[in-house]
Structure 1
Amino acid sequence: MNFELLIDTIAKTHSHFQHQAAKAVNVSLTLRNWLIGYYIVEFEQKGEDRAAYGDKLFDTLSHRLKYIKGIDRRSLYRFKDFYLLYPHIGQYLQSEQNAKSLPELFSFPIVGTVNPQLETSQKVGTVTPQYENNLLVPAKKLLLNLSYSHIEQLLQFEQSLKRTFYELECIKGTWSVRELKRQINSLYYERSGMSIKPEMLSKITQQKAEIANPSDIVKSVYAFEFLGLKAKNAVEESDLETALLDHLQDFMMEMGHGFCLEARQKKILIGDEYFFIDLVFYHRILKCHVLVELKVEEFNHHNIGQLNTYVNYFKANVMQSDDNPTVGILLVTNKNTALVEFATTGMDNKLFVSKYLLELPKKEILEAFITNELKKWNS
């Protein structure tokens, strides 16, 4: 064995076991979520004291389970949907080999059922061979090839044929979650149905698709929360972004203008999608939140639009009655230059705008800070 062969062998070994580890984490996370959905449905149908909880079941569950990262009211509803829309995963769990790997707690019957006549896959009857063969991707294939983040995107479709279409295309092309979202938003399913030669459209689409890496699974928000790791680590950041945020956080705190750090990579839910705000401060002098977003790229309207969305979110969901309007600061880098923009959405009080410009770091100071940090990185 020569040296180059040694390097290649080590790299391939690492890649193989990284892929295996990612699959193991994903399968465990996905099965856990499906089982939670199953338990909820079973309780709703057969629980001895279910009437005592009624419509408050999900609120009560999320409150009692708040010590488990990633389990909240929204996720519990998703788990229930997951169980109802993917009943055949129960059959996979009931297989002899898988049943042996489950703790005794799970030994009671788990029966996935579906009516082939219902697009919403409601629980009635049993899975017919015709439905299973034609419209359902085998549970094992789903579990080994799609992360729970992929599945979350697919839960929005009540129509089983549409879900199956995206499952097959996603598995065939090993799409990243971002690619799946992009194809859904581009109406790929609808365009395929209108195409005279859908196989040609599929070939073109797959050639341009973004492929997932094994590390994408273990870096996902759901995987990090499942493993009990800090949420801020769940956001994929380049080394440059991480270094800049580390220094920026210290820089803002040292400015002496009343900044109090409230959160880093603050996780917020808008609609059905999670977002992360780089830095969230509370300014004790201005009595307002200050949101800081760093983008290692050129300025574009999407950047400022995203920051304005965060500012509006805080206005609607976080601000207290005696707080002043939230301020957003966008820092954009382009090689060795920097740009700073302030988001002042909804600020009608011009006096307050003037005041915050006095209390917050000036644009020139922030631009100089970013420029100097970039020079250090490039030197």
Structure 2
Amino acid sequence: MQQLVALIPWGHNVRILDTVKDQTERLWYVQQTIQHGWSRNILVHQIESQLYHRQGKATTNFKHTLPQPQSELAQQLLKDPYTFDFLNLGEDFLERDLERALINHIRDFLIELGVGFGYLGSQYHLEVGGEDFYLDLFFYHARLHCYIVIDLKIEEFKPEHSGKMNFYVSAVDDLLRQPDDQPTIGMILCKSKNKVIAEYSLRDMHKPIGVSVYQLQDILPEALQGNLPTIEQLEAELETVSIIDNINGISGSDGKRK
């Protein structure tokens, strides 16, 4: 531990010691900082988002569909849940809205995905059997040496989602994968999931697929929102303050005009 902490800046060490109490978890953040070259701000973000407890937690079938050590490395690179706290979409949004928001915040999105993801495009076009199909998000991973297809869902995971992803992964393997590439991986990002249903859905799939959930920025409860002032009330309050300041500016303490 002493040898490792000497390899990162003192400010990083202070942050880890102040915010992480478990010794094993501390060592993990030190190792990750060394491996990925995290800045202090990124380190703090990863600690606050509980990365240690999310890493490698996705529901997958990698043990049965990928060879070692590829399966273990792929498992450790996927998280559950993913934290998209840099987005503010409100309550009613479509899958297309989520996709656009992630692309508009691509730097934050790539940081949350982790090191090694190279963005190739959104609504990536594939032609299969004379018909057009579009991948929500398409990546290539430098460490895994494989394509990664991400399908976004604004609902709870359903068994049919894995069938659709199996089709996408098969198509990418046939149309785009080169001899030096490892098998393509599919990742389904849902609003929520039943882990048992996800495990059953992936059990007999022959393509490597993972299922994770995402969390958006916290929204204030309706009860609290009702107690907050409206924009019109805030504007009226600011206008009143401005008028008072102007009066004080032209009058002295004796009330006479300066």
Bucket of the pairwise TM-score, normalised by the shorter protein: 0.3 to 0.5
Higher relative contact order (CA 8 A, sep 6+): 2
Structure with bigger helix share is: 1
Structure with bigger strand share is: 2
TM-score for the superposition, normalised by structure 1: 0.28
